[in-house]
Structure formats: C-alpha cells, structure tokens
C-alpha cells in the first residue's frame, strides 16, 4: 500500500498516483455514506484518508485538484438537506472599501430618489457579522422553517438544526401571522476556542476559524451534533411579513428584539456621511474587543419607505452597502504558476503558494489575473507594483479581502532567488495545444480551440449545470468531468446530458453498475435531468455561456423577446445587418436605421454592443448553432411571464423615458416600470408602445410622432401606474 511511505519520501509520480487512489476511495466512501446510507469505513478511517490527502497536497500543491475532497470535508454534502425556495429572495450586499465608495453610495441613493445633498437622509450602521445568513419562518408565532441562504433563491432546510440554537425562539408572542426573520448564525471567539480544544482532545479535526466552525456545525446532517455546538444568532433583517414591522430600520430592529431575538447592540442611526465614516472608525477600534468576528459594517437607509422605493438590483439592495475592513495580508513563497482554461477559453494564471494563514484562513492558491498583471502592468498598460514582475520562487504578499479570491499583491525583490527567470506566458493552450490568442484591447489570452478544447468544453458544461443555470441535482463538476471523459457516455455538449439515459441503456456497463453509482443514484439523476427539460427562457439564455451574457443580461433579453423563437430570429436577423459588421461606435450608430434587428437587441435598456456582438458571434458559428439546436430540441422552453403586477395597465408594454423627469429619477422610473411588467427601452422604434416625455425631450419625441407612438407626460405616467 502506498500509504506506508512517509509523505516526505514520495516522488511526484507516486504522489500523483496516490492522490488519484485516495480521491477515489473518498468518493466511494462518501457515496456509500450519503448516497446509500451504508458506510463502508469508520469515521476514523475516513478522516485518516483525508488527512493523508491533505499532507500530500501540502507537499505537492501543484497536484491538488481543483475539486479535491480535502476542501469539502467538514461540511455536509448539500444533497443531504432538502431544498427550500425563499418566498422573498435573500439578497447579499455590495461592498465598499473606502470613504469614496461610501460617498458614492450616498450620492447614488440621492440621485435615484431625486434628493439634493441638503436632504437629511439617515442611515443605520450595524456591524457586519462574519457568519452565515439564515432565514427563520414563523407562522402564527411558531417556527416552521429555517433555511440557509443558498444561492439567494433556494437554500437548504436546516430547521431541525436551527431549533437547537438557544438564540432562536421556538415561539414568539404578538407576532404577525407570517414573519420571516433573517440574520446571521455565528460562533463567539470563546466558544470557538473551547470547541476546537474539545475537537483536538477527541482526535477530531479542528476548525480554521469561527465562521467555518459555525457553518460546519449548522450544516450537520445530525441535529444532535448541532445541539452540542455553541451557535448564536443575531437578527438584523426580515423576508416575508404579513404586516409591516415598522417605519424605520432602527425601530424594526427594536421590534425583533421585543419578539425575543438577539439583536446587535452596536446598531446606530447616523445622520450624515460624516457620522457614518466616524462610526466605521469607531467600530474598527472596538473590533479587537468583540467576542465575535466582524468583517466590516453595514449601512442601511433608515426609512423603510425609502428602502422600498430604492428596491433591489439582481442580487443586492440599492439601500444598503457593506463597508469592509481593510484586507488582510501575509507573505509567502510562490511555488508555481498554473494556467487554468475557462469556458470562454480564457487562460487564467493561478499562483500556487506555500500555504500561509491570512486572517485565519489557510491560503494556498491566489489569482494572478492575466499575463500583464504578472508582468507588472494594469489593464491600461500603466505599471503596477512599480513595474515589478512576478516570478516563480518569489516571496510574494498575499492580499485577502473577505470572500474574494486572494491575490498576489507585492513582490519582495530583495528576496528574489538569483536564478529566477521572468515568467513566460504560454501562447498555446496547455489543455489542447491550440494557439492561445490575445486580441487587441483584451487583457486576456484565449485558447482558439473552441469546443474541441476539452477544458473549454468541460467548463461550458459546468456553467450549463451551475446553480443559476440548469442546476441539475446530483450532477456537479465531478460527475460532469467523468461523463465527458467516458467514451460510452460521452457528454460533450449540453444536449448530450438529455440523451444520457438513452445512451446508457445501449451500453454494456450501465451507469448503475459503475464505480460510485448505484440503481438509486442513477435513477435519481435521470429523473433530475428530465425535470430540467422544462426551463425558463432566461435560464436557458444564461446557460448557453455566451460571453458578456450574465444572469441580468439573460433576464433582460428573455423579458424583451418573451420566447426562444423570437430571440433566435432576432439574433439571426442581426447577423447580416450593417451595424453588426462595423466596430467603430459612431459608424455603428449611423447604420442603425438599416439594422432593425440589431436595434431591437441594443435598444433594450442595459444591453450594449458587446452583448449584441457576442450573440451575433455565437449565432454565426455553424458548430455552435447546431449544438444549440440539438439542445433546444430536447427542451420545453417556458415563455417569460411578466412579473406579478399583470393587472397593471403598463404590463407587457414597451416604454421609453425621455427628457428630464421631475417626480422621480430615470433609474427609479425604470425600476418601477419593470416591477409592473413593462419593458423599458432606450430608443423609440416600431415596437414602442409609450413614450414618457419630460421637459427637454428632443429627437425621441419627433421619432415617436413620426411613428405614431403615444406620448404622455410624467403625471399621466404616474396616474397610469397608480403612483400619483
Ligand atoms: S443585511 C437585504 N446586515 O452579509 C439585506 N447582512 O455580504 C441583506 N451580514 O448575506 C443583508 N451582517 O449574511 C445584513 N448586519 C447585517 C449583516 C449582514 C452580516 C451578512 C449576510 C449577507 C452578507 C452579505
């Protein structure tokens, strides 16, 4: 058995082999334990495998797989908990790192609401607890469900575990009929120390920091384990409520306290930007004396009426922001630079480091962004780090801010090894050998192998099955890679996922008989795949992995076009139009009149030329088009339903705002219109139903006249949407 070798005696080849064997044994053990509920080894044996794997990875970090099970142990597998759809999305927060970011935040809010700088706008500042978000649902005062944040829309059902937390009341008096209380699960420093001591004494794995300990404890499949873990909870927000809690944030916090929740005593009303910045410094001073980790402070608009008007972006509220404490830094040696190939073919350099603790977390990988960054240049060609390049062997400073991927920030030239050489960025794809090309104006070098490049193909498949896309239960990156490499199952493109079962039936060795699988898990996978055949249009567009088309752009496109056919027809129509063919922005605009399809795409508010170019590029490649066609043939694509307010008079209408509005800002007008199911477009065309014109409106009014589009004023608009 290879385990008999001391890790320090292993050659790289032996280590590589052993990593494969250990990974395989861990996968089997995991499957037997969680998938079949039938363990094939004791916990101690399992821990031994992981320990050995970690030791080898520590010595040979370049061999560590991105999906190594050594990173996952400690948290229960996600399939262990049932899923819960949040009735009100659990949002996250956008981050600010300096005073200017906060001044900009205040500025943005004032502009959005149309308030001038003298308007007394109050904010509540609260510590940002470094734990895990949790949503607690109470019906008629009884706790009925607890769910983790998950991706914000769907979390994990951890009700049994939450019931064991002393800060979480089982019942509350005088509560609204429905009340979702949201807050943070965390572990205090003192409890964390004690827990780690106990873990050590009983030979169990210790936790790297209180946050990991809290996460590992809450996500225990056995609630009895959670019960023994000293978890705490601060309430600071709410989801669905059958009646409003209060008129201000600070009163709402008070109300949550009255219901019996622990709330943070450092929450405070700040009357001005100066107050906010002062409070930040004050909390930073107190940080070291607090018995729990905080990673910044959160400012929230105090007036809940204004919060409602400000609303949300796709994943963050406009009315709140996290002001993060400065990043943490540490020095370590750069052992190697690896190149990873992403789904768009981007070659991303990754720094493999001698493991180092940065703010309580062990870091062994960091990003090096791109070849310019390694060479000491920023995106505009200016020098960074005084133009010092990064070389293998260098002593480098690691910078870690919150959850963001750590990066290599500085190089200590005095400690540079004498024989070091500048890093040569590859001009061939390390995965498929195709030429790696860097286009003018692009900081990124990309593999030109397209779908023939296995790394790109696998990454595209992984994107396709990611949470915000098809999110197929039981199908993660590990399975995807196996299916991709398997000559019989051969999942090479998204459509192949949907024909997997048919192919499997023809194989001599069925999936159910393969290593790590069983009847039940194969059956579950096929059922999960089938369930995903019905897919909303926005998710499909996002899942295609087209450059620049993120979740928001995909939703904008889906809302505009409503159906796949209309979307595909327009993009196909745009391919040969003059605007799609020129790159010069001015020239492009001049050709818009002859480019109706291009205009339909770029006329969507929030969609620019780069998205349109990427769509046209994808739809002009034969192989791509054929692959998409095969996929669409497997699916039932749900048309986009216009949101809630379908009884609104503007639902389904395409509206253009022009000139200056007086009662609300353009941004607020757009958000309100969309919340009532209207589409907001930036330009007037034959598709426009309504133009809302304020003073100073010019050419758009003329165009609307010419096209016979209805033109109304701001007051009429407000009356129409019921806001006057
Ligand atoms: S408010 C809609 N307040 O930080 C507003 N979040 O980085 C949602 N967090 O997901 C969040 N302390 O888990 C809020 N005082 C606080 C917080 C807080 C910690 C967490 C929360 C959120 C994450 C975003």
Tokens of 458: 């696998």
515 within 8 A of 28, measured Cβ to Cβ: yes
Residue from 452, 416, 421 nearest 434 by CA: 452
Ligand 1, residue 316: give the atom nearest the CA.
2
Atom 6 in ligand 1: which residue has the minimum CA distance?
128
Question: For residue 238, how far is its CA from the centre of ligand 1 (angstroms)?
Answer: 11
Task: Indicate which residue's Cα is closest to atom 16 of ligand 1.
Answer: 128
DSSP state of 406: P
CB–CB of 684/691 below 8 Å?
Answer: yes
The pLDDT of residue 36 = 52
* Contact call for residues 152 and 92 (beta carbons, < 8 A): yes
Separation CA 715–CA 705 (nearest Å) = 20
CA distance 464 to 461: 5
Active site residue 128: yes
pTM: 0.59
| Structure confidence at residue 436 (pLDDT) | 96
For residues 661 and 518, what is the distance between their CA atoms, to the nearest angstrom?
A: 63
Q: What pLDDT is stored for residue 77 in this prediction?
A: 36
Cα-based distances in Å from 480 to 321, 497, 634 = 37, 9, 18
Q: Whose CA is nearest to atom 1 of ligand 1?
A: 237
- Predicted confidence at residue 57, as pLDDT, reads 84
Ligand 1 centre distance from Cα of residue 133 (Å): 7
What is the mean pLDDT, run by run of 10 residues, along the chain of 724 residues?
Answer: 68 89 81 60 72 84 76 46 90 92 96 92 97 95 94 90 94 95 96 92 82 89 86 97 97 97 97 96 92 94 96 92 89 95 94 85 90 91 92 94 82 95 96 93 90 92 93 91 92 96 91 90 94 95 94 90 95 94 87 91 88 95 94 93 65 89 83 85 89 89 92 91 69
Catalytic residue among 128, 588, 679, 700: 128
What separation in Å is there between the alpha carbon of 237 and the centre of ligand 1?
8
Burial (CB count <10 Å: 0-12, 13-18, 19+), residue 65 = middle
Gap between the Cα atoms of 383 and 376, Å rounded: 6
Which residues sit with their C-beta closer than 6 Å to ligand 1? 91-93, 126, 128-129, 133, 149, 184, 236-237, 298, 317, 320, 322
* 358: β partners: 361
What CA–CA distance (Å, rounded) separates 476 from 478? 5
Identify the pLDDT of residue 603: 87
Residue 128 CA, ligand 1 centroid: distance in Å: 6
Q: Which ligand 1 atom sits closest to the C-alpha of 237?
A: 1
């Amino acid at each position: 058995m290879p385990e008999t070798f001391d890790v320090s005696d292993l050659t790289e080849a032996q280590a590589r082999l052993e990593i494969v064997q250990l990974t395989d044994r861990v996968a089997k053990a995991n499957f037997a334990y969680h998938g079949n509920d039938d363990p094939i080894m004791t916990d101690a044996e399992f821990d031994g495998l992981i320990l050995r794997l970690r030791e080898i990875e520590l010595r040979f970090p370049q061999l560590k797989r991105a999906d190594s099970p050594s990173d996952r142990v400690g948290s229960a597998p996600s399939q262990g908990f049932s899923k819960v759809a949040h009735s009100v999305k659990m949002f996250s927060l956008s981050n600010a790192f300096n005073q200017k970011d906060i001044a900009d935040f205040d500025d943005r809010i004032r502009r959005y609401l149309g308030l001038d700088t003298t308007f007394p706008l109050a904010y509540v500042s609260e510590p940002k607890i470094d734990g895990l978000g949790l949503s607690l649902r109470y019906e008629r005062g009884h706790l009925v469900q607890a769910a983790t944040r998950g991706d914000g829309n769907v979390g994990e059902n951890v009700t049994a575990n939450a019931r064991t937390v002393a800060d979480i009341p089982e019942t509350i008096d005088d509560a609204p009929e429905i009340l979702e209380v949201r807050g943070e699960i965390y572990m205090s420093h003192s409890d964390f120390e004690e827990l780690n001591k106990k873990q050590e004494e009983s030979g169990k794995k210790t936790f790297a920091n209180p946050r990991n300990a809290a996460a590992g404890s809450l996500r225990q499949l056995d609630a009895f384990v959670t019960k023994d873990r000293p978890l705490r909870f601060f309430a600071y927000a709410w989801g669905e409520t059958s009646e409003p809690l209060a008129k201000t944030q600070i009163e709402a916090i008070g109300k949550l306290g009255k219901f019996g929740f622990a709330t943070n005593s450092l929450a405070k009303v700040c009357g001005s930007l100066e107050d906010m910045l002062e409070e930040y410094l004050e909390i930073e001073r107190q940080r070291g004396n607090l018995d729990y980790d905080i990673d910044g402070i959160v400012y929230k608009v105090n007036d809940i009426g204004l919060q409602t008007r400000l609303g949300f972006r796709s994943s963050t509220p406009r009315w709140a922001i996290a002001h993060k404490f400065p990043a943490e830094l540490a020095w370590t040696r750069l052992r190697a630079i690896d190149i990873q190939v992403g789904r768009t073919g981007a070659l991303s350099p990754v720094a493999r480091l001698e493991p180092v603790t940065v703010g309580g977390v062990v870091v062994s990988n960091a990003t090096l962004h791109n070849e310019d960054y390694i060479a000491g240049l920023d995106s505009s060609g200016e020098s960074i780090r005084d133009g010092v390049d990064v070389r293998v062997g260098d002593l480098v400073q690691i910078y870690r801010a919150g959850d963001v991927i750590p990066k290599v920030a500085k190089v200590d030239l005095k400690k540079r090894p004498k024989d070091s050489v500048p890093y040569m960025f590859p001009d061939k794809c390390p995965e498929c050998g195709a030429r790696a090309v860097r286009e003018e104006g692009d900081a990124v070098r990309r593999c030109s192998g397209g779908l023939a490049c296995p790394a790109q193909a696998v990454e595209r498949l992984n994107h396709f099955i990611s949470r915000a896309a098809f999110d197929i239960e039981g199908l993660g990156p590990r399975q995807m890679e196996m299916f991709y490499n398997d000559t019989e199952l051969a999942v090479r493109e998204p459509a192949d996922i949907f024909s997997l079962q048919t192919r499997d039936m023809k194989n001599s060795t069925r999936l159910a008989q393969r290593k790590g699988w069983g009847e039940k898990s194969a059956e579950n996978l096929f059922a999960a795949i089938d369930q995903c055949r019905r897919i909303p249009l926005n998710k499909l567009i996002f899942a295609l992995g087209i450059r620049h088309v993120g979740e928001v752009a995909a939703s904008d496109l889906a809302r505009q076009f409503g159906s796949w056919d209309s979307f595909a027809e327009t993009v196909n129509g745009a391919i040969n139009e003059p605007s799609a063919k020129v790159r010069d922005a001015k020239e492009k605009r001049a050709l818009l009149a002859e480019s109706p399809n291009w205009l339909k795409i770029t006329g969507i508010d929030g969609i620019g030329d780069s998205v349109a170019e990427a769509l046209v590029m994808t739809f002009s490649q034969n192989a791509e088009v054929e692959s998409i066609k095969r996929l669409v043939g497997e699916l039932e694509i749900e048309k986009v339903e216009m949101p809630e307010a379908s009884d609104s008079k503007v639902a389904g209408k395409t509206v253009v705002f022009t000139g200056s509005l007086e009662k609300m800002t353009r941004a607020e007008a757009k958000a309100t219109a969309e919340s009532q199911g209207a589409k907001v477009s930036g330009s007037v065309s034959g598709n426009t139903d309504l133009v809302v014109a304020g003073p100073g409106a010019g050419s758009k009014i003329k165009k609307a006249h010419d096209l016979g589009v209805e033109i109304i004023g701001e007051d009429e608009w407000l009356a129409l949407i019921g806001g006057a």
